[in-house]
Amino acid sequence: MIEGSWTEYYDNGQLYYRGKYKDWLRDGYRIMYWENGQLKSKGNYKRDNQEGFWIYYNENGNIWEDGTGTYENGGKISQ
């Protein structure tokens, strides 16, 4: 059973993500990284759906405007 804080790594040992689960569902913070170590995204989940403000980055570390914004029930509602 997946419950509580969870961490996964790429095959090369680089951190892939950190996050929380509740009852097998993503629930709470989630921070993801590109395989090169750059931050990829960060935000929160609520019962496996993106919720609240999320920020996304490209592999060079620049903010990806198209993905960044406020989410509700897993869908983007505003920039």
Q: What is the pLDDT of residues 23-59, one digit of tens each?
A: 999 999 999 999 999 999 999 999 999 999 999 999 9
Q: In this predicted model, which residue has the larger pLDDT, 2 or 54?
A: 54
Check whether 68 has a pLDDT greater than 90. yes
pLDDT, position 2: 84
Contacts of 19-28 spanning 24+ positions with Cβ under 8 A: 19/45, 20/45, 22/47
**Total domains in the fold of the chain:** 1
Domain interval for residue 71: 4-78
Q: Residue 1 class from Cβ within 10 Å (0-12 exposed, 13-18 middle, 19+ buried)?
A: exposed
pLDDT, position 79: 82
